[in-house]
């Protein structure tokens, strides 16, 4: 893959070569691993998969950034996980219930949920991702207000629940009623948009491992979300990250929680099928 990329790059103009240079950072083959994770690299689960190997974003980060995810104490995202743990047993809403009233011990009941989102929801007649499922439980079962997208509470709960599924391989359903959503997500992934006329694939499929200015491009995997980012100086959702990537190519981003991002979340999760959930990861 590395070689193929280099060949492609050298075939391009000078300006482009200046922009993309082979990785400066020795992220490389990781000796250490994120806490609770046994591998950051898996083989594609199906023949039609567009990648030869599936690599977690961790693989592409510098040793200093990786170090913050090697130990849960070093990982600042755990400030949110701990808050999520408190919220789990906090009673709220007219039904006088907390999450734990129905779901008991999250380490058992949420051991896989975080690896299978987005998931088909029969009642809603559409898929829901983790944030939407949490809010669905809040409004329908607790009779409490939905938490705002990117609010501390929703980020904390999402991080807490997904952390319970840490180590579990990502496995989303893509057939049956999920099929049209999957196709829609795939379509968005490969459609060029914005002033720069680029698609997600332009960066994350063709050039992972290459340096794009200050950043070393990854495959744009989603197994680490919600993720603590140095740039944000806090934890943030996957949809926030999607928005950032669209803004970088000067496209008008879809809204967080939109059907478009939900479809894209399903499709990108499938591109990382089999990769252990790392949430909450640490990124630059």
Footprint (CB under 6 A) of ligand HEC, residues 56-95:
57, 60
Stretch that binds ligand HEC, among 14-22, 68-76, 169-177, 216-224 (CB under 6 A): 216-224
Instruction: State the minimum distance, in angstroms, from the CB of residue 35 to ligand HEC.
Output: 16
Check residue 103 for interaction with ligand HEC (CB under 6 A). yes
Check residue 137 for interaction with ligand HEC (CB under 6 A). yes
Site string (98-137) toward other proteins, x via CB under 8 A:
----------------------------------------
- 242, interface contact from ligand HEC, other proteins, none, CB < 5-8 Å by kind: ligand HEC
- Is residue 245 part of the annotated active site? The answer reads yes
> Residue 274 is encoded by which pair of tokens?
């089999």
Check residue 215 for interaction with ligand HEC (CB under 6 A). yes
> Residue 92 is encoded by which pair of tokens?
């709220």
Catalytic residue set = 245
Applying CB under 8 A, the residues found at the interface with other proteins are 8, 11-13, 15-16, 18-20, 24-25, 61-65, 67-68, 73-74, 76, 78-80, 82-83, 152, 195-198, 201-202, 205-207, 212-215, 229-231, 233-234, 248-250, 284
């Amino acid at each position: 893959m590395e070689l193929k990329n280099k060949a492609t790059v050298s075939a391009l103009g000078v300006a482009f070569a200046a922009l993309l240079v082979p990785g400066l950072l020795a992220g490389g083959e990781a000796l250490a691993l994120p806490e609770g994770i046994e591998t950051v690299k898996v083989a594609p689960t199906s023949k039609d998969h567009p990648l030869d190997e599936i690599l977690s974003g961790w693989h592409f980060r510098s040793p200093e950034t990786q170090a913050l995810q090697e130990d849960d104490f070093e990982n600042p995202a755990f400030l949110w996980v701990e808050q999520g743990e408190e919220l789990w047993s906090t009673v709220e809403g007219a039904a006088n219930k907390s999450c734990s009233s129905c779901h008991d011990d999250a380490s058992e009941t949420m051991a896989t949920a975080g690896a299978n989102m987005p998931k088909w929801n029969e009642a809603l007649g559409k898929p829901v991702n983790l944030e939407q499922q949490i809010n669905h439980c809040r409004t329908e079962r607790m009779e409490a207000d939905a938490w705002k997208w990117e609010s501390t509470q929703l980020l904390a709960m999402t991080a807490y629940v997904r952390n319970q599924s840490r180590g579990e391989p990502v496995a989303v359903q893509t057939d049956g009623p999920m099929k049209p959503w999957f196709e829609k997500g795939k379509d968005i992934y490969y459609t060029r948009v914005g002033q720069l006329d680029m698609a997600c694939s332009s960066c994350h499929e063709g050039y992972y491992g290459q340096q794009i200015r200050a950043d070393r491009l990854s495959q744009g995997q989603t197994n680490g979300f919600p993720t603590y980012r140095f740039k944000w100086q806090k934890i943030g959702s996957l949809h926030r990250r999607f928005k950032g990537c669209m803004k970088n190519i000067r496209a008008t981003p879809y809204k967080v929680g939109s059907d478009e991002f939900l479809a894209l979340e399903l499709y990108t999760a499938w591109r990382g099928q089999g990769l252990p959930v790392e949430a909450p990861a640490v990124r630059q």
